[in-house]
Structure 1
Amino acid sequence: MTQKIQLQEAFKLALSLMLFYWLSLYMDWDMPKFGALAIVVTSLSTSGASLNKGIMRVAGTGLGALAGFVLLSWFSQSPLGMLLATAIWLVFVGYFLQTTRQGDTWFNAGMLAVAVWSSSYMRVDTAFHFATTRFLETAAGVLLFTVVSMLLWPRTSGAALQQQGQKLWEGMQALFKQYRRQLSTGSVPAEAAELRTRLAGEYQQLLATLEAAYSDTPKAAAKKRSWEMLRTNLRVFGNAQELWRESINDCRELDLNTLLPGLEAALDTLSQRLARGRMLWKEQKTDVIEPDPDDAALLTELVLEADKTCKDLPHFQQATLMNLVAQLHILDRSSRELLQTLRVLANLDPGSKLQNYALITDPFQPSAWNPDRLLKALFPAICWGIGYAFWVYVNPPGGPAIPMMSAIFGLMMVMAPANLFGLLIVLLLSMFIAVAPVYMFLMPTLDSGFGLLALIFIYTFVFGYLGGRSPILKIGPLAMFVMMVDINNQQNYSFIALVTTGLVMLLGISIVVVAHRLLSPMHPEKVLLRSVRHFLAGSARIINDFRLHSPRQQGRGRKRRKRAFETAILPISAQLLSIEKSLDYALFPDNTEEKVQRLVDSLQSVRLRLQTLEASFTTAESESPELMHSLEAFNEKWRGRISKVFEKWARLERTDTLVKEWSTRATLLAEMEQRLNKVPDDFDDQALRNLYAVFGSTQSLLEAMKELGDSMKQINWDQWAVERF
């Protein structure tokens, strides 16, 4: 952010806050601090982001106020009933806080329900006035800031969207080049893992900017359906590219240029599609995009024909080759869809071109149900209960504000884990260094509305400008100013109010920190341990369901595998990415960062290869049932053996037991080769290709399991399992 933009944003914020206080004083509003707080927290870098956050805050305030009314109407005469009912509401809010894009809505819904109870304790008749006034003044603050933001130097998200997308495309091109180099050299570049992590973060950032662009960029709003298609296409392409990378590892012993004569040309086409996509994205800045006659060729499906010498290969190598070809076809399709969507966004093709892709989505989506989410959602309710008990039995200053602050900070930990003591220090310093001198010494000397509004403008402008360098320099001083000073027509000054507020925040944060320390299941190493075991148990269930059934039972088996994928397999990616960063490696010297990273990479590899096996098995089961049933005895025998390995891993049994299980792996491969040799010649080529794809993906899974077993042997699981405070 340039200095000019910092000054403009600070001016808009200061003007909005000054106008809001002028309006509230003129209209004699009771609680303008809540509208002012809404202005402070919704003042983001673009108009669309501010509008989205403001709408979510207003919606959450309304939902929370309604929930507060319902709870008070049912349990106002029952302290225990109120305690339990509010805890249930906080669990409900905490769960959906983790599953939706509208996190601010749910956060405010939880906060307002508790705030309505706290403000009306022993005065239930004031609850309606508090809730409706807070809702209306919050809406007024959001509306006023939106108008000012749109009229004065409006900043749309279009430029940020273009810049972030350009960076993402450059990263995608670089990653594809590294994977292509891996195909020729046989080794993975060291920077590939770091680049994958960076691209995952940039993708999430792009999605957040896209949400804002829908509100402040008419071009994005007009093509929302196409942008949503692009969101899906980017994710599908990234997943297809990772599946292709996994299949590369199995082809180290094959001369691919001889066996697949068109491989280099196909890879060149994929690279050209990425380059063309980057060009289309870059040209959006000028709104002048020249049609490229090569796009028609780039949108043509790739044809990969294996050389006749493939038939002379051992069956396993043929299976490995077929697996690589299958993954390349998936990558080809996803890249074509991605380029076609970009052409529609660039106005080179009509939106009707996407009709053929309208129903194409990921085969599996992470399930909305997750036990770890429920466990995490219990945390605000536990903090609420501890704060409630502390208030009842200790009766500190602040009274019912103690459980309210405990619940709010508990929700904050669920929404975005943070260093609460660091936050407390910032808030207390803001209160006593920035707010207290103005509140106690400067404001009492003002004798006119003009002087008061000028003070509000100058104070807000200074900290709004500093917020351009660090958001905490804006949020801390301004949030504490509007909440502590509480400017209204019945202004009063109380040093005790400052001290009491500081004490309430200190107690609320302390309760949350102690609860987090005492709740061992909330520790990152425990979450990692549960996630790994849940993943391995889910893998065992999936392998067990690779049974050969009648057509009716096949559908049931696919549904069971789909459920296992969505509940146990797919969530592991996001879970490991967040947990890995929060682990305290100093507490677990045996489990170094390098060992954990290797474990994470091995789990990701197994996840991808399970998806490959699922796709190949489903295709073979539906297109070549007779050939698959001819291998039923072999399937039953070895399916049970592989699932047994996963089950033992899920129980974290001793390493030597796992090694014994792997001593049979060579026998498995040999018997698979023998079975392939006995396949009758009367089956057509497509059936044999399907069978080879299944055996190739099975072999690929076994290789990934071998790497996972090696990485698991290096982890000291007992060290993570020990309870700690």
Structure 2
Amino acid sequence: MLAPRFPSPRFREAFKTALAVVLAYGIALSMDWEKPMWAAFAVAAISLATVGQSLHKGALRMWGTLVAGVVSLTLVALFPQERWWLMVFLSAFVGLCTYRMGGSKRPYFWNVAGFVSLIICMGSVPATEHAFDLAVLRSLETGLGILCYTLVTVFLWPTGTAAELDAAVHGLAATQHRLYQGYLRLLAGKAEGEDLQPLRLQEVQQLGQFNDALMGARADTHEVWELRQQWARLEADVRDMMAALARWRESFDEVQALDLKALMPEFPSLAEELDARLGQVERILSGKAPERQPKPLDASLNAEAVRALSHFDRAALALFRSQLRRLESLTRSLFETAADIKGFTAVSVRPVEPTRTRAGFVLDADDLVAAARVVAGVWLAYLLWIYVEIPGGVGIVIMTGSLGMALATNPQLPMRLAFKPVALSIAFASILYIFVMPRLSSFTELGWLIFAVTFAIGYLFYKPQQILGRMAGLIIFVTMTGISNAQSYSFLSLANTTLMFVLVFMILALAAYVPVSPQPEKAFVRLLRRFFRSCEYLVSTLDWDPDSDSARRPTRLQRWRRSYHAGQIATLPQTISLWGKSIDPKLLAGTTPEQLQALTADIQALGYRMQETLEARAAVRRMLAGPDVQNEIDTWRAGLKEIFRGLSLDPDAADHADFRALLNAKLERLEAHIETALNQADTVSVPPTEAERAYRLLGAHRGLSEAVIAFAKQTAVIDWPRLREARF
């Protein structure tokens, strides 16, 4: 290596970032490029802890810049003298990029494509003849910044992502193993009062760390790239395992009173085998050879003991078994894939399957709201620039769009949290601009200043959660100082830039109310209502019959709507939880944050129950009983649909006692009709697999009812009027 190893990784990363910024400025100034700050922007944007992550982000930034250049030149060529049409299509493209940031695996690519297109198009107004030169120059400057940081990280204390990837995936496997063991204790009644919520939160965080490390390792580690398909399969398996464990936990309430050992004689050995598999997966991912291979599992039932159960208990047992089978499949897949990756198999154990199948394009309401806010902010800034002489000129449009897109992915972030670091950065850069830079007479002196400032920012904001502060400090420093070959100093320019940032934050604060209020308590209630609207629609789809020619056969539009609402119940619980954590405790009055989070946990459980019901219904092609049973099921669905409709209008309307009385009465009538129908039917002719699927559906119905009742019970402790009252 070029230098001895320093004891502090913080020092190394700050040093590399500072050196790359100085090199980028030096080369850009020697080439006499206009506004070399864009090369420094590129360094600030990709300065991450490992080579792989930096290379990955650098590639995304480069591709985003190139796409933005093509789009911008196309728009300028189409509307050279029509600024309104240019702005219409430019804002539409920026809105599209903002929308794609929410659901894409490469949000940074769309972020760069959006704000660089603003830079090129707005920088070309009104003199559009220089648009091509500007696009080429921005691409060159971005490429220069990426190249400088890449070379520095490759040759100076290179840090690969392979070790980080191994640590992340091993930690995630260990957490999932501990969660499984905790759930087993809970099922056995040995975990009274044990709080597994911290483990679940840790699992979510570790999954994100694993995804980030995997993207970086693909770029800087040849072995990971060669096995990229196996790593993709492992990523899909651990993600599915997270959902499977949570849904398995939700099935405990209905089987808690059952004697599982009598009903499933092999359940203790089955649970022990799953535990051993997860332990072996953890061992393999730590780099050690497995001590044993997966054994075949027997989930057969004691037919005599099962016959003594009520039909709803049989249904609960069928649902529980289906979740166990899912865990069996996933643990075997995890074991085989992990062994293949770590080289503990002679050949690939099985063909690598696609990680996901696409269900078609489905809109996301939250991403649409984010796009609408960014477009509204850009248009407001544009109109102010056209009709009012405001400080900053066209820069206010560019900065509004850039900051708006950066904040779009974190709508829960209060604007005041971003304002404070920006204000401090402006004050610091202003002091340097007024009192220090006029005394410099050569690039050597300027280079030392750039190095010192960049090093200080990188050193102080080293932690991953401080990356926004690091980027804000660097970007404001290079913007306020305006370093160029023809350097000039003007207090008026400094004041205008400062006022521009103030106006930008005012515009973003106004645009945040488009189309709905950004206040956390209002967003919490609004998203809760949307969740129940989706539940209402999905319950209405349970009587669909894709194989029928009757009115119960869904149209293409209906299937698309079902996909949309199914996506909503899968993603909204986590979003609601994030907004709930953002609510100011002072506004909750008698409601504690813990009670609010307990409510969001019930929403998550309700979402899992709804997903289980949809999957169970899709698997059933033959009901066990006749029209009387079907009529009772339809009655239950109609009652549940009315409950969801009421909750979508007013979540405070939930009445625990009324819901329990209503749903229990319907379920009791349903069980009585099933008992009568099955006693009269020729059940021998029913295939066992079809019978189990029907019982699983019945169990899902019961579980969904219990989840609604649990939610209604928790709503009683929430101070809903305080959440809904107007606040400014």
TM-score if structure 2 supplies the norm length? Answer: 0.90
Decide whether the 8 Å contact of 2:591 with 2:718 is kept in 1.
Answer: yes
Decide whether the 8 Å contact of 2:172 with 2:207 is kept in 1.
Answer: yes
Decide whether the 8 Å contact of 2:646 with 2:653 is kept in 1.
Answer: no
Deviation at 1:268, TM superposition (A): 0.7
Amino acid at match of 1:700: G
Amino acid at match of 1:423: A
Deviation at 1:377, TM superposition (A): 1.2
Q: 1:696, 1:424 → 2: CA distance?
A: 51
Decide whether the 8 Å contact of 1:380 with 1:407 is kept in 2.
Answer: yes
- 1:620–1:547 Cα change, 3 Å: same
Decide whether the 8 Å contact of 2:534 with 2:566 is kept in 1.
Answer: no
Correspondence for 1:486: 482
Decide whether the 8 Å contact of 1:536 with 1:649 is kept in 2.
Answer: yes
Deviation at 1:84, TM superposition (A): 3.2
1:93 counterpart = 2:89: no
Decide whether the 8 Å contact of 1:386 with 1:511 is kept in 2.
Answer: yes
1:241 counterpart = 2:245: yes
Correspondence for 1:423: 418
1:382 counterpart = 2:380: no
Decide whether the 8 Å contact of 1:47 with 1:149 is kept in 2.
Answer: yes
Decide whether the 8 Å contact of 1:60 with 1:109 is kept in 2.
Answer: yes
Correspondence for 1:228: 232
Deviation at 1:365, TM superposition (A): 7.0
Deviation at 1:232, TM superposition (A): 0.8
Deviation at 1:649, TM superposition (A): 2.0
Q: 2:416, 2:630 → 1: CA distance?
A: 60
Correspondence for 1:702: 705
Q: Which runs of 5+ in 2 are unaligned?
A: none
Q: 1:548, 1:501 → 2: CA distance?
A: 60
Correspondence for 1:13: 17
Q: Deviations over 1:187-236 (max 9, x none)?
A: 66442123212211221121112111111122211111111111111111
Q: 1:422, 1:608 → 2: CA distance?
A: 34
- Output the aligned Cα RMSD: 3.0
Correspondence for 1:166: 170
**Mean alpha-carbon deviation: is it higher for 35-44 or for 665-674?**
665-674
Q: 1:658, 1:184 → 2: CA distance?
A: 28
Q: Deviations over 1:368-388 (max 9, x none)?
A: 412232122100111122223
Aligned partner of residue 98 in structure 1, secondary structure? helix
- 1:383–1:569 Cα change, 3 Å: same
- 1:638–1:426 Cα change, 3 Å: closer
Deviation at 1:279, TM superposition (A): 0.6
Decide whether the 8 Å contact of 1:42 with 1:53 is kept in 2.
Answer: yes
Amino acid at match of 2:74: V
1:682 to 681, 684, 696: 684
Q: 1:564-579 alignment to 2 at 5 Å?
A: 565-579=565-579
Q: 1:33, 1:664 → 2: CA distance?
A: 66
2:397 to 400, 403, 415: 403
Q: 1:238, 1:367 → 2: CA distance?
A: 25
Deviation at 1:37, TM superposition (A): 1.8
Q: 1:38-437 alignment to 2 at 5 Å?
A: 38-185=42-189, 189-283=193-287, 289-292=288-291, 294-297=292-295, 300-306=296-302, 308-349=304-345, 352-355=348-351, 358-359=353-354, 361=356, 368-417=362-411, 418-433=413-428, 435-437=429-431
Correspondence for 1:667: 665
Q: Deviations over 1:251-287 (max 9, x none)?
A: 122122222221111111111111111111111xxxx
Aligned partner of residue 34 in structure 2, secondary structure? coil
Aligned residues: 712
Correspondence for 1:286: none
Q: 1:422, 1:687 → 2: CA distance?
A: 56
Q: 2:190, 2:694 → 1: CA distance?
A: 26
- 1:338–1:562 Cα change, 3 Å: farther
Decide whether the 8 Å contact of 2:381 with 2:397 is kept in 1.
Answer: yes
- 1:260–1:85 Cα change, 3 Å: same
Q: 1:444-593 alignment to 2 at 5 Å?
A: 444-468=438-462, 471=467, 474-516=470-512, 520-547=516-543, 549=545, 551-552=547-548, 556=554, 559=559, 563=563, 565-589=565-589, 591-593=591-593
TM-score if structure 1 supplies the norm length? Answer: 0.90
Aligned partner of residue 29 in structure 1, secondary structure? coil
Q: Which runs of 5+ in 1 are unaligned?
A: 284-288
Deviation at 1:248, TM superposition (A): 1.0
Q: Deviations over 1:469-516 (max 9, x none)?
A: 655674344333333333333222333322221111111112212332
Decide whether the 8 Å contact of 1:520 with 1:724 is kept in 2.
Answer: no
Q: 1:186, 1:253 → 2: CA distance?
A: 14
